[in-house]
Amino acid sequence: MKKLRAVLIILIAMALLLFSTSGQFLIVSHPEHADVIVVLAGETDHRPALGLKLLHDGYAPRMLLDVPANAKLYRWDMLQLGQQYVHGLPESNSVTVCPIYGLSTKTEAQDVSKCLNALGAHKVLVVTSDYHTRRALSTFRHELRGMEVYVAPATDPQQFGGSWWKHRQWAKLNFDEWLRLVWWEAVDRWR
């Protein structure tokens, strides 16, 4: 009985340790100099801001801004809004809108590959939300074979934090991203 109790305590302690570090596991920060910075679609504040900062800091001479091609914001076409945003930037000559037609990270990587091929890129720095970095890095490395892929996390403390159990929103994102990561690793990457 004492052995069973000891084993149970160890298993519970290990589960608590894994559970508490699961949010930090999702976050990968590996920015490297590249040919192009790719800012993934899905968030229009922190991701583009980090992409522009990395562009200013010389991480790459060009930036692609992924924009959903078939989406609308009320009555405005997202692709046109993205292009207007880029034209208003002081660094607009270095930033290009990349139209995204897919709805998953995998299909986004496939759409991005067309934009990257047009630029002749071989090294890519992907910018995405911090909780999405591990899956995005794995997906882009899988889909962009022959290219070096790195990742930089855009942080939004209202959306996510490594100590995910402290806020309801963080807990929801942690759970959702783990589901997507498991699906990617177990199913989607093999299709």
Q: What domains lie within the chain, and their CATH numbers?
A: 29-160 (3.40.50.620)
- Which of these, 128, 127, 129, 131, lies nearest to 171 by C-alpha position? 131
The tokens for 20 are 């508490």
Classified as helix, coil or strand, 85 is helix
Q: Could you tell me the pTM of the whole model?
A: 0.90
Region 144-162 average pLDDT: 92
pLDDT above 70 (res 168)? yes
Reduced to 3 states, what is the DSSP secondary structure of residue 74? coil
pLDDT tens string 51-85: 999 999 999 999 999 999 998 889 899 999 999 99
Helix (H, G, I), strand (E, B) or coil at 31: coil
> Based on the number of CB atoms within 10 Å of its own CB, is 31 exposed (0-12), middle (13-18) or buried (19 or more)?
middle
Q: What is the pLDDT of residue 15?
A: 57
